Structure 1
Amino acid sequence: MKFLKEFKEFAIKGNMMDMAIGIIIGAAFNKVIDVLVKKVFLPPLSLMTDGLNFQDQKYVVRESIINTQGEVIVKEVAVEYGVLVETFLDFLIVGLTVFIVVKAMNKLRSKAQDPKNEVVATPKDIELLSKLTDLMEEQNVLLKGK
């Protein structure tokens, strides 16, 4: 029963919910990026390269051997670098998008943590620390003046 109680506390605290939400959003984000690469970026790139389809690009190391009935006796051995190019584009787009989102979040966070910025509401703890710092500086000036 202790295990169930600990699990319930873990789930209620929000850790599990935050993780689940992050995983769900990440999966949806992955689908969006996949469509973006395959349906938006690759077709114009294919057009610029005379209809080159990256998924079909490969370097054949050994051709397949087919008998007279058309059956494959020995399978083809190939390095499919086109899939690597496509996956690399996925990675670059995801990386760039995450970078932009994190950069925007950091900018908003720094504005929120600046007590002198009145446009964005400053969290109470930072506001109180800022007032405490100002009071200590005033006290130091008064003590030095004596």
Structure 2
Amino acid sequence: MLKEFRDFIMTGNVVDLAVAVILAGAVGLVVTGFTNDMIMPLVGHFTGGIDFADMKYVLDPAVVGADGTVTKPENAIMWGKWINTLINLLIVGFVLFVIVKAYGKVRKKEEAAPAPDPGPSEVDLLKEIRDELRKK
């Protein structure tokens, strides 16, 4: 049973899947950083300094005690963070689209290469031998 599991894990598909998951996590982090640090400041600039991450709809405001400590935290719908997440999704989707499209072009080029001539078949060789024997 351990041998079967080892053989299963060492197949190309499982290793490829593991690499894809690790790369997807790294791409996700890069895209999140790109969105938060590059795209959203530009969006904020063109929308008059609005930071979407701070946009929210407050359901229940925070209750602050006399000493300044929060006795009951704020309850809010953070719709601005959700917009940031949607922008992340669009960017990740576009990046993956470009990667898959490039991979498809590379794969087509590999498939388009003509296969080498396999040479004469067994039937052709047998016919040649028969013809040679008839000549003698």
Q: Which moved more, 1:105-114 or 1:17-26?
A: 105-114
Normalised TM-score (structure 2): 0.74
Query: Which consecutive unaligned segments of at least 5 residues does structure 1 have?
Result: 115-121, 129-146
When residues 40 and 111 of structure 1 are mapped into structure 2, their CA distance, relative to the original with a 3 A threshold, is: same
Q: 1:35 aligns to what? A: 33
Asked whether the equivalents of residues 112 and 123 of structure 1 are also in contact (C-alpha less than 8 Å), the reply is no
Q: Is 1:106 aligned with 2:97?
A: no
Matched AA of 1:27: G
1:55-134 equivalences under 5 Å are 55-114=53-112, 122=113, 124=115
Asked whether the equivalents of residues 57 and 80 of structure 1 are also in contact (C-alpha less than 8 Å), the reply is yes
How many residue pairs are counted as aligned between the two chains? 118
**What is the CA distance between 1:39 and its match in structure 2?**
1.2
Normalised TM-score (structure 1): 0.70
% identical equivalent positions: 32
When residues 95 and 52 of structure 1 are mapped into structure 2, their CA distance, relative to the original with a 3 A threshold, is: same
When residues 10 and 123 of structure 1 are mapped into structure 2, their CA distance, relative to the original with a 3 A threshold, is: farther
When residues 22 and 123 of structure 1 are mapped into structure 2, their CA distance, relative to the original with a 3 A threshold, is: farther
Structure with larger Rg = 2
Query: Which consecutive unaligned segments of at least 5 residues does structure 2 have?
Result: 119-136
When residues 123 and 8 of structure 1 are mapped into structure 2, their CA distance, relative to the original with a 3 A threshold, is: farther
Deviation string for 1:37-71 (max 9, x for gaps)? Answer: 11111111111223222211111112112222223
Q: How far apart, CA to CA, are the structure 2 residues paired with 1:67 and 1:123?
A: 79
Q: 1:136 aligns to what? A: none
**What is the CA distance between 1:5 and its match in structure 2?**
0.5
Deviation string for 1:74-117 (max 9, x for gaps)? Answer: 32111001110110011000111111222222233334434xxx
Q: How far apart, CA to CA, are the structure 2 residues paired with 1:76 and 1:39?
A: 26
**What is the CA distance between 1:123 and its match in structure 2?**
6.1
